[in-house]
Amino acid sequence: MLGIYKKKVADDEFLFIPKEPCPFVNAQGIVRCRSEAFFPDMSPVVVEGHMGDEGIYHIEKIAYPLSNKREASFFLNYLETKLPDSEKIKILNVMGNDIIPFVKRKDAEKILFEKIPEIPFNILSELVIKIRTMADTKNLVEFLKKKKIKKETIEKIIDSGLPYEQLRRNPFRTWYGIDPFSAEKIAENIEPYDSHRLAGFISYVIDSFISSGDTCVTFKDIKKRLYYLTRQSMYPDSDIPMAFIYNAVKKMNRYLTIDTINNETYVYKTRILQQEIKVAQHVIRLCENKTTVVHDIDIDSIEKENGFCYNEGQKAAFPAVKKSGVKIITGPPGSGKTAIIKGLIAAYKSENKKGIVELSATTGAAAQVIKKSCGENGQTVHKLLNLRPCGDTVLCKSEGDPIDAGLIIVDEVSMLDLEIASYLFPAVRNGAIIILCGDDNQLESVGYGKVLADLIDCGKVEVYRLYQIMRQSGTICENASIILSGSAEIKLDESFSLHRYTSDNEAVKAMMSNLKYECSFVLSPVKKKGEAGVYALNKIIQESIPNLTYCFSYNNENFHIGDRIIMTQTNYDQGYFNGDIGTISSFCEGILSVTFFDKVLSLSRDDFANMQLAYSITVHKSQGSEIDDVHIILPDSCKNMLTRRIVYTAITRAKSHVYIYSVGDAFEYAVKNKAEHQRRSNLVYRIQNG
């Protein structure tokens, strides 16, 4: 069957447009096919196969249509649309059925022009180049497959239009999406200290530190991690000297910057250094240009208006609205942060009747909570800033176009990473108050940086701490406080349970017997490893849900209508952000519709790599979310992932019930364990030293 390979839509699935009668087409004239083969979008192909019971055509053979004159004619007709059929027949007669071997000849254009002089040389040349490009692309795919390069990476390379020779000369460029181990295979016969190889491995190392939350890295750290990585490389015995590392970094000055602070030398990605400097500059600006906003605060009147009384710790936070600048309110769940926010809004409005208040949060889920709790409009920080892509840059509110508000409140600020902070602080005008609310005992942001901790530590920002847990807060908040103190002697009741098991399998079975997935998160500190990892848990939970309508498969995960998903990267063009949680509502012709808190987005296969099932998520990804029931599985096989902050963050996601499934002594170990990666950042230094 002749037709067009329209586009790949999922793992081993693509859309096919038949160009001859076909009984399997849908209303749009398309057939959904399954095959491991990969072709560039909109390629002419010939396919053979059979229709499966699930409505997908299973491909048994797929190739460029060149095995006979009919196929070759179709191939040529598709590629060349300018010429009349009579002249295409002349071209085909000269080329023969073996079109690709013909165009590979250096004199192909010359032969065609000599045989068919009535056709302009430029048209013949364009046609030959098209066919050569297609042939080279197919050869590149086969070459990369033989090198055992991942399918996703192959597709990125092909979609980029990167010529094979350019790739082979330097496959270590990180924007190709190739890890340095795969790049070594492609490069062939590369020397251990080749500049391209060094640059590839150094970039890979720096990216690994950034993904762990660091904004910068020392040369010592680079060398140490390079030593570990090169043990797994093509040259396991090569020890890269520090001088070579330093020279390689200096040559990468288009996107890396060396910065020395207090006699320690750091390597930054230039854009991250610029973000750190920008945050420091604007925090200093806001702290040094304070003006009086509220003169007198009548707490008694505010208590009557809101219908509750504030404790002494909450009353001590009211001065936050007296003057403009950056303020922080931090405290554990149940300490009344939402109550004090309502009071601060009332205090601000008492003297600023026409003053504009903007309520926001770092995640959609948190924005929904604060909107409901405070009775004001709530939105994500991204929406508040009107973040939107423009080529390789991002446009948003700024110093020249600030947020039009006198009081800006940002909730769940432990999730505020350096990149978003670099957009936020410049957009706060002089004379405005920005109040950052959060819990500094929770895990740090998913993105790089430790903005909340740095602002607290810099000594330039007003910090108000709420310590007292409100009596009506319940067992979940009480236990959160107990765990923070380092004690595992928690209170157990109908809202909070802890059970111990001898294996991951036993713990998972117990969890499944209690789970109501519609109103629950299943949290694990582990992503991939074992039965208690997020990947395995998602599969088990999904398989337990009846009557799901299959959409597609990607990265060994099946997706259905109604599945809960989470975005794992930020894409400003598409409008989603790392940590956004939504529900799949439809799937048609490779386009997935997902409903989020404040938007409905159409996602294509390019976005599927940034998406995972979210019946179970890591504790880190759960930050900013709130749900009725939280089921926490703590395996004892990955003790480096079991920390007090992990358990604390997990249980504070629950509104009604917490279920902890501890394998062995995993719970007690986690509560006692305060060891965790200390993120590198120089934001404190920059704020203190101007």
Give me the pLDDT at residue 670, please: 96
386-407: string of b/e by CB count within 10 Å (b at 16+)? ebeeeeeeeebbeeeeebebbb
Tell whether the model's pLDDT for residue 346 goes beyond 60: yes
Rounded CA-CA distance 330/465 in Å is: 5
Helix orientation angle between 504-514 and 534-543, rounded to the nearest 10 degrees: 40
Rounded CA-CA distance 287/687 in Å is: 10
Distance of alpha carbon 495 from the chain centroid: 33
- Phi–psi pair at 457, nearest 5 degrees: -80, -20
Rounded CA-CA distance 202/221 in Å is: 11
> Model confidence over 87-103: pLDDT tens digits?
989 998 998 878 888 98
What would the mean pLDDT of 443-454 be, rounded to a whole number?
Answer: 94
Closest CA to 599 of 416, 367, 369: 367
User: Model confidence at 174, in pLDDT bands (50, 70, 90)?
Assistant: low
Q: 62 pairs with which residues across the strands?
A: 47
Tell whether the model's pLDDT for residue 39 goes beyond 90: no
Tell whether the model's pLDDT for residue 365 goes beyond 80: no
**Three-state SS annotation for 307-348:** CCCCCHHHHCCHHHHCECEEEEEECCCCCCHHHHHHHHHHHH
Residue whose entry in the numeric block shows the structure tokens 């176009």: 401
Tell whether the model's pLDDT for residue 598 goes beyond 80: no
> Model confidence over 613-664: pLDDT tens digits?
999 999 988 887 888 999 999 998 888 889 999 999 999 999 899 999 999 9
Q: 634 pairs with which residues across the strands?
A: 662
Q: How many other C-beta atoms lie within 10 A of the C-beta of residue 29?
A: 11
Q: For all residues of the chain together, what is the average pLDDT?
A: 91
Rounded CA-CA distance 235/187 in Å is: 14
Give me the pLDDT at residue 597, please: 77
Strand boundaries in 546-674, DSSP class E: 549-554, 557-561, 564-567, 581-588, 591-595, 600-603, 611-613, 616-618, 627-634, 654-663
- In Å, how far are 176, 242, 249 from 270, measured between CA atoms? 19, 21, 12
- In Å, how far are 417, 451, 477, 617 from 646, measured between CA atoms? 18, 19, 15, 13
Q: How many other C-beta atoms lie within 10 A of the C-beta of residue 305?
A: 12
Tell whether the model's pLDDT for residue 471 goes beyond 60: no
Give me the pLDDT at residue 640, please: 83
User: Model confidence at 335, in pLDDT bands (50, 70, 90)?
Assistant: confident
Strand boundaries in 399-532, DSSP class E: 407-411, 433-438, 462-465, 496-501, 520-524
**Three-state SS annotation for 225-242:** HHHHHHCCCCCCCCCCCH
Please return the burial class of 454, using the count of CB atoms within 10 Å of its CB with bins 0-12, 13-18 and 19+.
buried
- Please check whether residue 630 is in contact with residue 648, taking contact to mean a CB–CB distance below 8 angstroms: no
Query: Residues 57, 62, 64, 69: what is their CA dihedral angle, to the nearest 10 degrees?
Result: -90
> Model confidence over 269-318: pLDDT tens digits?
999 999 999 999 999 999 999 999 999 999 999 999 888 899 999 999 99
- Please check whether residue 671 is in contact with residue 483, taking contact to mean a CB–CB distance below 8 angstroms: yes
Rounded CA-CA distance 39/47 in Å is: 12
